[in-house]
Structure 1
Amino acid sequence: MSRAKALLAPGLAALVLVCVLIALGIWQLQRLKWKEGIIAEIRQAQTAPPVPLPANPAPYQKVQIAGDWLPGKAALYGDEIHDTPNGPVPGGELLMALQRPSREIILVDLGWVPQQSPVALANPPSNPAGYLHAPLHAGWFSGKDDPAHGLYYTLDPAKIGAGMGLHNVAPYMLIAMGPMPPPGSAMPQPAQDLPTPPNNHYQYALTWFGFAGVLVFEFIFFARKRLQQP
């Protein structure tokens, strides 16, 4: 068998792999365009006013919920330290319960507060607005929830609601949005923006195309070396 024919099998294998790598790069460019469309929708929703909570809210839609706050029902989610004018202060996200006219209860994340045990606001905002958050479930590295003290590390409305002694809790949570309180205030710091997914598909495409280019040069080097052998 000639040396040129000996390169046929590795050449075909390299060609197939290069085609696969290029296809992956093109796929990432397609996902880039898809993700840019999602981000454009989020930016448009960011500037739109909130709408009354519909039966089936659209993704990335700001909504407003009417109802009555249940007095004394509060919990803290997470454990986060914020820098304040007086130095680092521990705290968490303050969760309170809002009962709609339908009797359904929605847990509302009013924002970060400098509390280590939950204290309900005496005058929470009426008709809070924000975005809906699907429930999360505990992972391997999640902190241990402490329902007895109203402290949670997993954003699970059913579990948090049960810890508050509530029933008919909605299977989602409202993340409140609004203006930031003055520096040093004990009031909650609500979310300022809708969540935006990361968009790294351009870098991923360059990586796959780069692997394809490296493979081509590696095969050229391999072939030249094989053909030069006596």
Structure 2
Amino acid sequence: MTLRRWAPLLVALPVLAVLLSLGTWQVRRLAWKADMLATIAASEAGPPQPLGTMPAPYTKVVAIGRFDHDREALLGLEVRGTTLGAHLLVPLLRDGAPPLLVDRGWVPMERDRTVDRPAGEVAVTGYVRPADERDWNTARDDPAGRRFYILDPAAIGAALGLPPPAPFGLVALASPGAPAGVLPAAAATLPRPNNPHLGYAITWYGLAAALVGVVIAFVMRAPKARGPQAGRPA
């Protein structure tokens, strides 16, 4: 048994460990995403719950307050058909509770259509949207122009001159039977994040199995070390 014959095995072991750990991580992500989707489906099927202080993400809730239309802002960018638009973000002022940033729905960038702005106390039904995380790829906000590209309640609240808002947002859901074409165009359903983790897990475990097969084949076919030839003088 030579070191040359078994060297590929020594090299492959750490690679195999990495592939197996990645596959296991995806299996855990699969279970986490399946639980999330089940929670979203149950929340959508049931009635909205009163909004608490720290609701779970994607819970369907109802919040009561008054819209501060003078401090509305735009969130993100989205093209619908051939029209560029964004989501209308409006603070909901609540008695005895922090302001809540409400995504009321999509509006076109060109303000050539009427946008509904209800006055007085309103009850907003929607789902809880967790705050986004910034990274190196995040577009730069325009606080002076009230244009934001991720939901960062603390930063948005400060730019709008609000007291510290709730650390999450609320995405308004369209009322049943609401007429088509009314702006903002609110979300019709709760989001359904995709769940590709089974495919990822199969890929990583498949690569691990392929690596094992390649190493076994190499070891089995590698020439064995030969001893001294028979009849060779000492």
For normalisation by structure 2, the TM-score amounts to 0.77
Moved more, 108-117 or 119-128: 119-128
1:97/1:108 contact within 8 Å kept: yes
**How much does 1:7 deviate?**
3.6
Q: Structure 2 matches for 1:38-187, cutoff 5 A?
A: 38-83=36-81, 88-102=82-96, 104-116=98-110, 121-123=116-118, 126-179=122-175, 182-183=179-180, 185-187=181-183
Structure 1: tracts of 5 or more residues without a match: none
Q: What whole-Å deviation, never above 9, does each CA across 1:38-86 have from its counterpart, x for those lacking one? A: 3212211121111111233234321110112224221111222211xxx
Detail structure 1 runs of 4+ shifted over 6 Å in the superposition: none
Q: Which amino acid aligns with 1:122?
A: R
CA RMSD of aligned residues (A): 3.2
Distance 2:80 2:49 in 1: 31
Q: 1:90 to 1:186 in 2, by over 3 A?
A: farther
Identity within the alignment, %: 37
Bigger radius of gyration among the two: 2
SS at match of 1:66: strand
Verify the 8 A CA contact 1:73 1:97 in the aligned structure 2: yes
Kindly report which structure 2 residues correspond to 1:172-211, keeping only aligned pairs within 5 A, or say none. Answer: 172-179=168-175, 182-183=179-180, 185-211=181-207
* AA aligned opposite 1:123: P
**Structure 1 residues 143 and 66: CA distance shift in structure 2, 3 A:** same
Checking the alignment, whether the CA contact within 8 Å between 1:92 and 1:116 is kept in structure 2 is no
User: CA offset at residue 106 of structure 1?
Assistant: 1.1
* Deviation, structure 1 residue 187: 0.7
1:228, CA displacement in angstroms?
Answer: 7.0
